[in-house]
Structure 1
Amino acid sequence: MRHKPIAAIAGLGFSELSRKPIGTSRELAAAAVEAAIADAGLKKTDIDGLLINRSPIADPDEVPLRLQNDLQLRNLGLLAAIDSEGSSAVQMVQYAAMAIRQGMAKSVVCVFSDTPVKASGGGDSFAIAMPLTGVEGWERQQGFLGASAAYALAARKHMARYGTTQHQLGAYAVSCRKWAALNPQAFLRKPLSIGDYLASPMIVAPFRILDCCYPVNGAVAIIVTSVRCAVNGPHAPVYIHGMGQGHRGRSGLHGDDDELGSGAQQAARMAYKSAGVVAADVTACQFYDAFSYVGILALEEYGLCKPGEAGSYVADGHTAPGGTLPVNTGGGHLSGFYLQGVTPLSEGVIQVRGAGGERQVVNNDLLLVTGSGGCLDYHSCVLLSPHAALH
């Protein structure tokens, strides 16, 4: 059976990206949207949908619905702020595609913007309590601050269950750095060895600083259109063939169940089924990988490795340049830049367009792009391809 695309991505735009203060989130969002409209060969009057995503730790007024007025977008048929934490960016693309398919809009711009890095750095922005126990205030009282502590618990459980090692986490970080070295837009491009990784400071066991994402200030916008509109644009269309979400809630982290699986497995099943493909058909991946462990887990949960085998798969070089399954070809969140879900989305668009330069994958037939939020609580994914029909 030949599966036709749901919709297509026709535009991609970036604001300036920096580790220094460069403006407000609202200003950067507007810049990214205008860049995406130009990239798609459209005019503002062609845009009839606007979806906004901001960081879950940001004030709602940082990127408000009033961004519509800043951009002078009129008569929108679709306008919303999407809040499903790190899965939101991919969800924006999903909702835009569904709205287009239902005739609610023709060209929808999806934008994420964030300015977490202040003059003192980015650490303070993320040093907040992540509620895990349901006991109000417990995490802060115990000094259990930041996503790194929560994800470290999840990683330790995987290590205890399957024997995943510190060296395998390091191999994932090294693989991302190898890709970043080929990406002019990546922030961390200096060569990285396992020895360098093991010598880096420990943040919270088992995570060293090089296991953690590298936040920046900036914005990225993506324009989703009908297939017919995308074909007439200045760039090769990026077809959206499969979509999925999965939200199991807080599980696989505490001792309340014996499972390690998250909603990613549900999202994967849904996406593969809707596209008429299987995991083995995926030729490259762009994962939401705020921590090295998340990328390793995603390989297993999206059916690309058997449970417990992803660590050795990465250590054997399969996800690095020249490997059998390229993963996070722009450097991902660890070495590229952390702008939550638009980091993997933007790289997915670049790769499907064939615009990756030195880092361009040989086979871009079917890319899996994922989003993840909370602490493995919320999951979304899309399947992108340069082909209008999948066999």
Structure 2
Amino acid sequence: MSIKGKCAIVGLGMTAMGKIYGRSASDFAIEAVELALQDAGLTKADVDGLLINANLSREMQPGLQSALGLENLRLLNVMNAYGATAGTMIQYAVMAIIHGLANVVVLVFADAPLKPSKGAGAAYGANLLSLQGMDGLLAAYGVFGPIPGYALAARRHMHLFGTTSEQLGAIAIAERRWAQMNPAAQMRTPLTMEEYLASRYIVEPLRLYDCCLVSNGGIAVVITSAERARHLRQPPVYILGLGQAAPGGDERTDREPGIYTGAKQSGQTALRMAGIELKDIDICEIYDCYTYTVLVTLEDYGFCAKGEGGAFVADGKLGPGGSLPTNTGGGQLSGYYMWGFTPLSEAIIQARGQAGERQVPKHDLILVSGNGGILQYHSTTILGTQPG
């Protein structure tokens, strides 16, 4: 049974995001859910499904239901595929609604890793990781946390295909140009190539501006049936296609390390479900924990051949006025870092036509990607302004 166009996103709630201290993840989550329900014109009594995106601190737990005062739940789960979770949550919600397990499902992610005494570098540090098994082996060689893994992947791509720092910089600059038009973005000052190249290495070859922000805040979305969506407050954002892929880590395979993602498989599934081709996509909202993630994901979706991502992004096509508007709110590099809810939230805003100065004129079909781990988990969601 096709799910194309049978469900829609009808509510979006976003708290302030950034260096906002003195609030817990649960506090942000409660505010985000309340804002999303107000946005949709629904009440807590209407909600019978709650899906919670786990965070690394494990604060996001089923007890959030009680804090929210939701008393009519028929569906409750805490889900975790890291940055791919938003897409997997949408799949779960859609299947539940179609099969009568829920009518109105709220999805929420919130986090508060930043403290006055703890900066971005320490927020997701090595102390959050187990040092047993493979993690312990990698740590023995200095690979702590995600940044070294992505840096090694980027370096391998450079070695194999001649990808340059300037090409990675083109992604960071394009996203900053979008962020300058987004009032919710954390980084809105201009960024030049000279400034990018002069920024310090975090883990070579990844510089400061190759790396995502860290944010305190929360985002929630509301999903219901397409029929009900037509009678609610906001323009429905229809869910047309969904796909997942979990290739896992490279440590136990003979794959070329760091060069392939799950975007090819999950993208093919989602596009086939939506009944469209890649050339039909108007906007891409790509998970961008690092600039390299954007480059390799675009390759694997098929926007260009493997190894040609550097040249593909170098001409500015991802930025304002470009032929492939990508990460139109500034992404996680310059906008805000709410895991997979960053690309999802901007896709909703664009699909509704509510992006103001940064609104892309043609926004009928939007591809949203999620990426978790070190390119280990992937989700693709196709959103549209029409049900089919």
TM-score (norm 1): 0.94
Which aligned runs of 4 or more in structure 1 are off by greater than 3 angstroms? Answer: 129-136
Aligned residue number for residue 80 of structure 1: 77
Q: Does 1:24 align with 2:21?
A: no
Deviation at 1:139, TM superposition (A): 2.8
Q: How far is the alpha carbon of 1:258 from its aligned partner?
A: 3.6
Tell me the residue number matched to 1:171.
170
| Contact 2:83 2:373 survives alignment (8 Å) | yes
| Matches of 1:37 and 1:257, distance apart in 2 | 44
CA deviations on 1:308-357 (whole Å, 9 max, x unpaired) are: 22211211011110000100000001000111110000000000000010
Q: Which residue of 1 aligns with 2:382?
A: 383
Letter in structure 1 aligned against 2:255? D
Q: How does 1:220-239 map to 2 (within 5 A)?
A: 220-239=219-238
The answer to whether residue 112 in structure 2 is matched with residue 115 in structure 1 is: yes
Unpaired runs of 5+ residues, structure 2, are none
Alignment pair present for 1:94 and 2:104:
no
**Residue matched to 2:47:** 47
Give 1:1-12 correspondences, 5 Å limit.
4-12=4-12
The alignment-based identity, stated in percent, is: 45
Cross-structure match for 2:122: 124
Secondary structure of the corresponding residue to residue 86 of structure 1: helix
Q: Given that residues 261 and 296 in structure 2 are in contact (C-alpha distance below 8 angstroms), is that contact kept between their aligned partners in structure 1?
A: no
Deviates more, 1:188-197 or 1:93-102: 93-102
**Distance change (3 Å), C-alpha of 1:314 and 1:41:** same
**1:213 deviation in Å?**
0.3
Count of aligned pairs = 384
Instruction: Give the deviation of 1:19 after TM superposition.
Output: 0.9
What residue in structure 1 maps to residue 33 of structure 2? 33
| 2:254 paired residue among 253, 256, 268 | 256
Q: CA deviation at 1:160?
A: 1.4
Mapping of residues 349-364 of structure 1, within 5 Å: 349-364=348-363
Between the aligned partners of 2:330 and 2:381, the Cα distance in structure 1 is 19
Could you tell me which residue of structure 1 aligns to residue 103 of structure 2? 106
The residue number in structure 2 matching 1:268 is 267
Aligned counterparts, 1:322-333, within 5 A: 322-333=321-332
Cα 1:141/1:132, change in 2 over 3 Å: closer
For the 8 Å contact 1:131–1:139, the answer to whether it is kept is no
* 1:63-74 to 2 correspondences below 5 Å: 63-74=60-71
SS in 2 for 1:9: strand
Separation of aligned partners in 1, 2:80 and 2:72: 23
Instruction: For 2:76, give the aligned amino acid.
Output: L
1:262: Cα distance to partner?
Answer: 2.2
More moved, 351-360 vs 83-92: 83-92
Displacement, 1:255? 7.9
Instruction: List runs of 5+ in structure 1 lacking aligned partners.
Output: none
Q: Do residues 185 (structure 1) and 189 (structure 2) align? A: no
Q: Which residue of 1 aligns with 2:149?
A: 150
The separation in 1 between residues aligned to 2:141 and 2:202, in whole angstroms, is: 16
Q: Deviations over 1:226-279 (max 9, x none)?
A: 00111111111000000000011113x788334732222110111011111111
Q: CA deviation at 1:134?
A: 4.8
Moved more, 10-19 or 212-221: 10-19
| Deviation for aligned residue 1:8 | 0.2
TM superposition shift of 1:143: 2.9
Mean CA deviation greater in 26-35 or 305-314: 305-314
Contact residue 22 and residue 217 of structure 1 kept, 8 A: no
SS at match of 2:83: coil
Alpha carbon RMSD of aligned pairs, Å? Answer: 1.8
Q: Deviations over 1:26-56 (max 9, x none)?
A: 111011001000100001111110000122x
Helix, strand or coil at the partner of 1:137: helix
Matched AA of 2:8: A
Measure, in 2, the Cα distance between the counterparts of 1:124 and 1:42: 39
Shift of 1:16: 2.6
1:172 CA drift (Å): 0.5
